Structure 1
């Protein structure tokens, strides 16, 4: 009931037209034809006036749509007394707009629900030590904040505690946690580690790093050219052809009624209804595949993509560290070192612990219980396992415990957890951001299916970026970029349309600047999701291929439906120039054309066939990463 009332309030013309039509038909049947004609004429004339006002506003903005032909069709049918046909044109025009708006509204409703989980409040520490929760906007320079474990830092601030770790991947693209010491600046948008920390605010929220990126997003959106709807591309030629045929028929026959008889067959309903129906079906398909698309115009662009760019961290990679190597010291076996370390990490909240535990489980190693376990915050964990004292932690921490410690050489993008067993150095576990197993297949599919240029745009270090790019077949790499650099490169990238995929706050400006910005939304990066045209809510890059396939399929169905409608309409208009199709019959025939195009447009509800994405075995990806 609530949905119905909301529809009536938002689109009053649709139900009102239905009610007027029923009343007009009732009056006509009862023998009050003149009253029926007056009511219909007044109603349609009022709608025409309202449409003309909107049409003029659009023309002043340089936008030409189908409203001109619709207004002429309504006027012509009224002039020759075909008021029922004019009511049908009103219903089709208003109903098509409502259908298109509904598709866009539903997509944005789902997206807003996804983005609402971002915190908008801060925990303020007063002088007496009490804690208050306040809106972020009320936090000022010099205030003391408490940021709890795994919370987002609300504004730029300086760390007051001795040491803490923060996840800055959504800001900088660096997938590994960053350790900060007392006095270091912590950027807003960073995610706190496993311990509550105290911060002193350096800048209010509106001047923070996060807000600077938001402003860059707004500028990028303003600079992006608006999308042109599919139906509008056919509006000018169809309008001109229809008016020329109708005008020629009038001139040849010398009868104004002939103009209306021809033009009633030129009502733009196939263009107004077929495309929205097809794109609504496509949006339904993408939603089922885990991709929220902001409207039919965006889905249309998916079907035209010719170049693409990807962020690295969280997009081509999973954005979390995974074990890539076990370097056991002399006298220790790799499996034993990994098993004991993973068993100890069961009692740790460190960012690398999950990757170590997962690697042990993937190798079939059974994790052992500890008789005692303790964690030294940000340094490491100690556990007694089957009588062995196992310590896993940072190099300085292990170095202080073992006389034979050896620091491992690491490449850019790698991190190490060092292991000591019973006071002896046992080895190191090397971790790096895990490459998505589907990334190579996605890049390969796009290249095979008409995407001419594929690049990586990342803020991460060049060696790490080039290693990942080599593993998945991307040859164009732009690394160590700031958000403004990404926007510049994306705006210069050709051919168009251009698609950009990212996940972090630092990707928001370039997502806004791209023809289509796609956010990996599984991690809930609010700024990226708000700036994007589509959000992949499933944690898989393969959904991007699904969106492109559905976009192409939907575009093909919509275009074919429109062409069918136009060809049938023009053919019938040519026949009507001879006078063999009366206006009433023409209106009924035109509705049959409308029905045919709508039924064809419903084919977009079916999944596209063929060209599905293949997969790349995880072991093969891991091998490439180690060799890279």
Structure 2
């Protein structure tokens, strides 16, 4: 049964638990009342070694107060040596794999403090190691909040209309053509078209546009959009796997699962830092003659700042990128973006909108301009050419009613022949139209324009001119890249040389290669000397070159799946300016990671030098190292960025760029 609000009665609807609701227990208390205890238990289960270390520390305090100090020494020392042995096993495995890390210092520090009787310092070093891992994990969870948001919001079920009944089915079971109900404030599960008269939808998670969009019957509806206040029905046009939101979720999953190679960044300093620390500790022991001095230096040389700083910074950078509508598939991509020297762009759909718009109608004297456009738009209803939609839109904007087409055929790459209102209309290339109207003549076109010629009943009727518009911020994007150190630019396109040269001149692009096939693009990118190279594209034909570049950036807002899968980063909104933002985020992330590493190194070295003179006892040194750890993590978390980061506009520096282009 259909209701007045456009929904159907549930019938045998199988319902799933509603999300976002609080459930009450039998005593009437809300489930969140004991949230503090639950959270504490979760932390204990998540970090058992840290919990055990703290418990042993508390037990030691109780035993010391009870006058059992000798037992405290044995418990602390024994536990510390067990942890040291556990760390040593992992260290040996890494060394056998050819990976020299920073664990040697930690193990040496624990053993040294136990041997010299500094058992309290030994336990603090153990807490520092295990707590450092816990802090890293906590910081990573905090930094990945934006990445995880997409995953947790992904719809799991769809309400499928089956006759007069409504059945909840797993989203993977939805097929093309299924009629689905989307309730108020629910997320659209798959791509589809509107069946109900109208609604408003929030598409911000897909397009980045925060203003709700009105949708009417027949309009395209993107999965991931949030429905407004009225329940509506849609007809599925894609399966879940092929829908916009699920593709984005898949990209996020890949990005979240990829282990950023940031440990390598820290391990570059592992061998020299370890050698320096052991040498300094040995010299302090040799000069003082006191083995305690060796332990006092090493407790300040533990490598937690180095191990924690880089991963936290890179995960933070990936989180910041996601918040800016950019999915980065791993920390290695951020490193490459940070060092980029060249940028290569596809033209159509990347630097331009990819949808040419009508700029002029040149009709022959015997036919009015609006009539010429009406015939063209009517015929183009049956064309798959990229210009077809532009001509139809232009006719509708002028309020022209399209004519009924009795019969139409399209010749690929040439044009359309249509029978319209008893007349034969031929629309397409000049050579194609001239074959039907010998008196046809070419019209003058400006660089960057293209002409569509028309003949009616074998008589030349005129031409229509269209131009693919540059993106408004394309110039500012290139200027910003230049400021960020990406000084070399190139455009690769399959379009004609004259059109490509015109676009390049407007943007100040140095090198242009037109009439390119996918293999040509790969060859041109491989030949670039100034590396790393960024390649930005949007279409299926760009997939090979995106994979071949050092960093491929796909304009994925329109669902170019092949391009998105082969790219290292995907821009989720239709904004070329995010390319410069990706480079900016990469540079900031690497800079913060290195700053955090050097902060840990410098502070540790200063404290080690002071400890070499016997000023800092081992226990105090271990506590100071915990402070260094915390400072390093907080410093690295700056890579997450601020709240206004995504809203920051690109500066316009067109004059400066034009001067540089002219000089080259």
TM over 0.5: yes
Say which of 500, 503, 509 aligns to 1:465: 500
Residues 107 and 295 in structure 1, CA contact (< 8 A), matched pair in contact too: no
Residues 97 and 272 in structure 1, CA contact (< 8 A), matched pair in contact too: no
SS at match of 2:51: helix
Match of 2:650 in 1: 613
Match of 1:66 in 2: 102
Question: How far is 1:99 from its partner?
Answer: 5.8
The TM-score, its normalising length taken from structure 1, stands at 0.66
The answer to whether residue 576 in structure 2 is matched with residue 528 in structure 1 is: no
Distance 1:51 1:326, change over 3 A: farther
The answer to whether residue 321 in structure 2 is matched with residue 281 in structure 1 is: no
Residues 298 and 516 in structure 1, CA contact (< 8 A), matched pair in contact too: yes
Match of 1:17 in 2: 49
The more displaced of 50-59 and 533-542 is 50-59
Q: Deviation per CA, 1:376-434, whole angstroms, max 9, x where unpaired?
A: 142255666xxx97957336886798786546578998754444679864422233544
The more displaced of 446-455 and 585-594 is 446-455
Say which of 573, 584, 589 aligns to 1:538: 573
SS at match of 1:265: coil
SS at match of 1:474: coil
Match of 1:125 in 2: none
The answer to whether residue 400 in structure 2 is matched with residue 368 in structure 1 is: yes
CA distance in structure 2 between the aligned counterparts of 1:342 and 1:327, rounded to whole angstroms: 12
Match of 2:538 in 1: 503
Residues 552 and 566 in structure 2, CA contact (< 8 A), matched pair in contact too: yes
CA distance in structure 2 between the aligned counterparts of 1:568 and 1:313, rounded to whole angstroms: 52
The more displaced of 455-464 and 572-581 is 455-464
Residues 47 and 90 in structure 1, CA contact (< 8 A), matched pair in contact too: no
CA distance in structure 2 between the aligned counterparts of 1:603 and 1:57, rounded to whole angstroms: 33
**Root-mean-square deviation (CA), in Å?**
4.6
Residues 74 and 89 in structure 1, CA contact (< 8 A), matched pair in contact too: no
SS at match of 1:230: helix
Residues 262 and 331 in structure 2, CA contact (< 8 A), matched pair in contact too: no
SS at match of 2:465: strand
Distance 1:348 1:504, change over 3 A: closer
Question: How far is 1:347 from its partner?
Answer: 4.9
SS at match of 1:501: strand
Residues 324 and 645 in structure 2, CA contact (< 8 A), matched pair in contact too: no
SS at match of 1:435: coil
Question: How far is 1:543 from its partner?
Answer: 0.6
Question: How far is 1:373 from its partner?
Answer: 4.2
CA distance in structure 1 between the aligned counterparts of 2:274 and 2:530, rounded to whole angstroms: 31
Question: How far is 1:576 from its partner?
Answer: 1.0
Question: How far is 1:518 from its partner?
Answer: 1.3
The answer to whether residue 131 in structure 2 is matched with residue 96 in structure 1 is: no
Match of 2:428 in 1: 394
Q: Deviation per CA, 1:173-194, whole angstroms, max 9, x where unpaired?
A: xxxxxxxxxxxxxxxxxxxxxx
Q: Deviation per CA, 1:339-369, whole angstroms, max 9, x where unpaired?
A: 53576369555432211244456xxx43233
Residues 382 and 408 in structure 2, CA contact (< 8 A), matched pair in contact too: no
Query: How do 1:81-120 and structure 2 match up within 5 A?
Result: 81=119, 82-93=122-133, 96=136
Which residues of structure 2 form unaligned runs of 5+?
Answer: 1-42, 64-70, 155-190, 192-260, 411-415, 655-664
Say which of 305, 329, 341 aligns to 1:270: 305
Match of 1:231 in 2: 266
Query: How do 1:139-150 and structure 2 match up within 5 A?
Result: none
CA distance in structure 2 between the aligned counterparts of 1:75 and 1:337, rounded to whole angstroms: 91
Say which of 363, 366, 378 aligns to 1:344: 378
Q: Deviation per CA, 1:458-506, whole angstroms, max 9, x where unpaired?
A: 4544444333222211121234445455444434423333222223344
Question: How far is 1:292 from its partner?
Answer: 0.7
Say which of 570, 595, 618 aligns to 2:630: 595
SS at match of 2:299: helix
Question: How far is 1:554 from its partner?
Answer: 2.7
Residues 337 and 551 in structure 2, CA contact (< 8 A), matched pair in contact too: yes
SS at match of 1:323: strand
Residues 323 and 646 in structure 2, CA contact (< 8 A), matched pair in contact too: no
Question: How far is 1:291 from its partner?
Answer: 0.8
Distance 1:50 1:430, change over 3 A: same
Distance 1:435 1:522, change over 3 A: same
Residues 250 and 259 in structure 1, CA contact (< 8 A), matched pair in contact too: yes
How many residues are treated as equivalent by the alignment?
495
Residues 426 and 433 in structure 2, CA contact (< 8 A), matched pair in contact too: yes
Match of 1:54 in 2: 94
Q: Deviation per CA, 1:90-116, whole angstroms, max 9, x where unpaired?
A: 3324753786699799869979x99xx
Residues 13 and 94 in structure 1, CA contact (< 8 A), matched pair in contact too: no
Match of 1:553 in 2: 588
